[in-house]
A and B are shown apart, each in its own frame.
Chain A
Amino acid sequence: SQELEQSPQSLIVQEGKNLTINCTSSKTLYGLYWYKQKYGEGLIFLMMLQKGGEEKSHEKITAKLDEKKQQSSLHITASQPSHAGIYLCGADNFGNEKLTFGTGTRLTIIP
């Protein structure tokens, strides 16, 4: 079965600093999704990566998928309080958006 590990489990970063969250799969992925979840709320879609070596950016968030399609990283530049939340990676193994999720990374931004 698919196993998805995220690291770190929690992260405390000073406002303005850069940070990286990693997601590693035990299997080659068809697609890799990144979501953000605020406590008590739903998931906000950030980005989806499908091709080996692919990189996508939205505002100050950049996500990459390695060539082997087993590892992804999410990088936030010049972090802001609005970036605080739980970041989840989801693995699509079959191209049908049935996702296996990692346990999440809890990001806290301190002034």
Chain B
Amino acid sequence: NAGVMQNPRHLVRRRGQEARLRCSPMKGHSHVYWYRQLPEEGLKFMVYLQKENIIDESGMPKERFSAEFPKEGPSILRIQQVVRGDSAAYFCASSASGALEAFFGPGTRLTVL
């Protein structure tokens, strides 16, 4: 049973471009969480999704950021018109409904030039 998968592992974008980060949860997991880890800072919650629904997006910046978890396929975190301050490691975690464990993926390291 593969763990949580994220791709790409490293992503370089120039200012103003779009970044798309993908997260495939563990098999059987229907809950996905996105976190951001800024350099020298802790992990911050961004958004919590279930299939086709955004449950909690209280940690998402109001502009340029969006997330989805379609019925089929991976969860996508999309950042439009990236700025240097978006450079960070983005982690997703998944859990099964009612479970009390959340497993993290290896992260995507976004660098904005």
Q: A97-B100, A98-B48, A99-B43 are in contact. List 13 more A-B contacts (CB 8 A).
A: A31-B100, A40-B109, A41-B107, A43-B43, A43-B104, A45-B104, A50-B100, A88-B42, A88-B43, A97-B48, A97-B95, A98-B33, A100-B45
Which residues on B are within 8 Å of A, measured CB to CB? 4, 6, 31, 33, 35, 41-45, 48, 55-56, 91, 93, 95, 99-107, 109
Complex Cα distance A98/B109, Å?
21
Q: How far is the CA of A104 from the CA of B48 in the complex (A)?
A: 22
CB-based A-B contact count at 8 angstroms: 60
Residue on B with the closest CB to A6? B42
Residues in chain A near residue B45, CB distance under 8 A: 98-100
Beta-carbon contacts under 8 Å, A68-84 to B: none
Name the residue of chain B whose CB is nearest to the CB of A31: B100
Is B93 a contact of A97 with CB atoms below 8 Å?
Answer: yes
